[in-house]
Chain A
Amino acid sequence: MIVKIVSEKFDIPNSHTLKIAKEHGAYSALNTALSKSPEDIINIITESGLRGKGGGGAPTGTKWSLMPKKSDKPHYLIINGDESEPGTFKDRQILQYDPHLLIEGIIISAYAINAHEAYIYIRGEYKFFIDRFQEAINEAYAANILGNNSTLSHKVNITIHRGAGAYICGEKTALIESLEGKRGHPRLKPKRPEPEYYFGNPATVNNVETIATVPFIVENGASAYRQYGTEKSPGTMLFALSGHINNPGIYEMTYGSSLVEFINEIGGGVKNGKKLKAVIPGGASTPVLKADENLACIMLDYESMRSAGSALGTGGAIIMDEDTDMVEALKNLLEFYHHESCGQCTPCREGSGWVDNIVGAILDGVAQEKDLDTLLDVAKTMNGKTICVFAPAVAGVIEGFLKNFREEFENYISEGRFVKSPVEAIAEASCQTSLE
C-alpha cells in the first residue's frame, strides 16, 4: 500500500526550496521536538519501532540510547548517504526533492543524542545531489535554523563530506574511518553494543531516510507511525524497482506489502510482457528469489524476507525476466564485489577474486562440473570469517543463485553456452502456502 510520509513533498514543484518547503509544513516538528526532553524523543522513536533504512534494519531508538548520557566529550551525528548498493537510489530523492525534511530530521536527531555537529557523508558521484543539499543547508543557515546564530534552543551545524568512490564506505565504521581521513576499512565490532566513535568521541550513524522519517514520528507520535506496516516492521519505506520492469522508480509503501503486487501493480509488470524469472529483493547483496508459487507469499518486511531465505536490505528490487542469463547476472555481481572488496581481510580480498574467476570460466566455456562445488566451498570460507558483512553477503549471493538456478549453471557448463530454461508464469492467485 502506498503511503507517503518521507515522499510527501516529492511531487511539489520546487519543494527543495525553503519557501515552498515551509509552505508545506517543513520545520513544523521542531517546536514539538524541542519542547520535549532528549530522553522523551528517544522514547518516542523507540516506541515507534523505527528501523534503520540503510539495509540492516536495526532499531533506531536502541541505537540512540547507546549514546552516553553524561559525558564531557562532544557527541556527533553522522548521516550515511553513501548509497552504493546496486539497485538502490532512494536517498538521492530525499536530497533532491525534500532536503529541508532531512535538515529538520537532523536537528531533531542531533538534539536527541546531544550533538551539535552533524556530518553527512554522501557518495562522491552524487555531485548534483550534494550541491542541491548544500543549497538547502545554506538557506537554513541564512534563516537562522542552522548554525551558532540559530534561533532554536539547540544549535546544530551540518557539514557535507563528499566520498570518492568506494562502496565499502557505506559500512558505518568504514564510513567513520573515511571521515577521519583514512582508507575505508571497516573496524572490528565490539563485544557488547556501544556507540560508534569519531576520533574517540561518541557518535551515531544513521541512514538518510531514517533521519528523514524522524520529524513525522516526533510530530505525530509513535502510534501514528505504527498504524502502518507490521508489528515488527512498522511504518513505511522507500522501495525501488529497477531492471526488467515497466515502471522503474521509487515508491513509498508500508512494510508488509506484497512483493508480487509491488511488481505487477505498482511496477506495471515485467517489461515487454515477458514472464518474471527472478527478483533480487533488497539491493544486490540480498539473495535472489526465484519466481515460483512461493513468491506470492513473500511480503516486503524484514521477517517475511528472512523466512523466504533472503533479506529486505535497502528495499531496492532488481527484476529479471524469463530470458535473463543467470550465469551472466551472477558474474556481473561478482565483478562488482571483486572490484569493491576493501582488501582488509584475506578471505574477502582473495575470495571475491576467486569466485569471480570461477563464474568467468563458466561464461568462457572452460569450466567443469566440480567448479560449482569449489564455488560454494569458497563462498563458505568467505562467510563469517571477516571483519564486516561484505564477504558473508557475497557468499549469500552465490548460494542464492546456486540454490535456485543450479541446473542453469550445470547446463551452461555442459553446453558451454546459455541454455534458456522454461519459466512458469506465476499465478495471480493469492498465497497458497504459508511460510514458517
Chain B
Amino acid sequence: MNTFAFTPKNEEKFSNILKKYPHPQSLMLPSLWLVQEQEGFISTDAMEYIATKIEVAPIEVYRVVTFYTMFNLEKIAPYHIEVCKTLSCKLCGQDEILKYIEEKTVNSDKFKISKVECMGACGGAPMMTLNGVYHENLTTSKVDEILREIK
C-alpha cells in the first residue's frame, strides 16, 4: 500500500501549479520539491504517487530523482552543510574551511557535510550553505559563529 500523500496544503499548491503549465509532466520538478519540503526526502512511495499525478510511469520519476543532485533518496541529518569545492573556492582556502567544519562536527549526528560543485558564489569564496542558506567569505571564526547558533 502506498504510504505517501500530499498534505492538503501541498495538494492545493499542486493544483495551482498545474494551471501554469501546458502539460502535467512539467510538474515533475515542482512536485518533487513539494515532496522533499514535506518529508525531507523522496521515497519510492512518493515517486509512485507523483507518477500517477503527473501521468508518467514510476520509472520516469525515479530516473529524474536520481539525475538531480539536490534530491535526497533517504532521510538526512537535520543540519545539512554544503561546502563548495570548485576552483574559485579552492583557490581561496576551501580545503582549510572544509577540514575545520569536519573537525567541529565530527562528534555530532545532527550534521551532514557535503562537498558540492560550484554554487554560484565565486565572488564570496570560500562559501558554504547551511540548510540552503548561503554563507560567503568564510573564515574559521565565521564558521564558529554559524555553528554556535545551532548548538
Contacts and interface: CB of A to CB of B under 8 A. Distances in A.
A89 B90 contact: no
Interface in B59-84: 60, 63-64, 67-71
B63 A84 contact: no
A241 interface: yes
Interface string B100-144: 000000000000000001111111110001001110000000000
Given A74-B22, A89-B120, A318-B87, 17 more contacts: A86-B122, A87-B87, A92-B120, A117-B20, A164-B29, A180-B25, A181-B27, A181-B29, A181-B56, A182-B28, A244-B91, A284-B86, A284-B118, A318-B88, A318-B122, A320-B91, A329-B87
A201 B22 CA distance: 10
A352 to B, nearest CB: 13
User: Which of the four size classes fits the interface of chain A?
Assistant: 35 or more
Q: Which 6 A-B pairs have the closest CB atoms?
A: A181-B28, A164-B68, A242-B122, A165-B70, A165-B69, A242-B88
Contacts of B30: 161-162
Interface residues of B, number: 42
Interface in A165-218: 165-167, 178-184, 198-199, 201
A340 B122 contact: no
Nearest to A76: B22
A86 B119 CA distance: 8
Contacts, number: 146
19 contacts: A86-B88, A87-B88, A89-B120, A117-B22, A124-B70, A126-B120, A127-B132, A159-B21, A161-B26, A162-B29, A164-B69, A165-B68, A165-B70, A166-B67, A181-B27, A242-B88, A244-B92, A324-B91, A336-B87
Contacts of B134: 128
Given A178-B29, A182-B64, A243 B20 contact: no
B147 to A, nearest CB: 20
Contact of A164 (B21, B32, B125): B32
Interface of A: 74, 83-89, 92, 117, 123-128, 157, 159, 161-167, 178-184, 198-199, 201, 240-244, 248-250, 280, 284, 316, 318, 320, 324, 328-329, 332-333, 335-336, 339-340, 342
Contacts of B32: 164
